[in-house]
Amino acid sequence: MNGLTQLKCVLVLEDEPLIAMDLQWALEDAGIDAVTARNCPEAMDAIKNKSVDGAILDVNLGKGQTCENAAMELHRLGLPFILNTGDLDRSGELLRRINAPVVAKPTPSELVVERLLAVAAERGANQSRIDI
């Protein structure tokens, strides 16, 4: 099973509307539904109430908010996710705590989606080895 068949609906947590829209379109081009959220409470709601099976998370969401709570919940649920951030210098400690793959901004949305698919495929391969 590859990452494309594993992921049916991906959460995009991004406070910049144009970036969120671009990621949504890239996911849809890959045959994946997208749910967008502009802040962590919206993301937590989507994780709990939507059938998301992966996520692309912006680290710094403005006004002092971060994606940390959403990232920790996704980790707890065993769902694949990546961090997509342009604030690598300011976010160093937070990135170490979250311990997830990072794609630096600006990166074309198609490549961000490809990275998430690779993470999902790797996680699926690891799960298969454990399940055997």
Question: Structural domains in the chain?
Answer: 9-125 (3.40.50.2300)
Q: What is the pLDDT of residue 62?
A: 86
Mean pLDDT throughout 26-53?
Answer: 94
Q: Which of 67, 49, 50, 70 is nearest to 58 (CA)?
A: 67
Q: What is the pLDDT of residue 131?
A: 41
Q: pLDDT-based confidence at 110, cuts 50/70/90?
A: very high
Q: What is the pLDDT of residue 35?
A: 96
What is residue 75's three-state secondary structure? helix
Task: State the Cα–Cα distance between residues 118 and 29, nearest whole angstrom.
Answer: 16
Share of the chain above pLDDT 70, in %: 83
pLDDT in tens, 50-109: 889 999 999 888 888 889 899 999 999 999 999 998 876 555 566 677 778 889 899 999
pTM for this predicted structure: 0.86
User: Does residue 81 come out as left (phi exceeding 0), alpha (psi in the -120 to 50 range) or beta?
Assistant: beta
State CA 61 to chain mean position distance. Answer: 14
Q: pLDDT-based confidence at 119, cuts 50/70/90?
A: very high
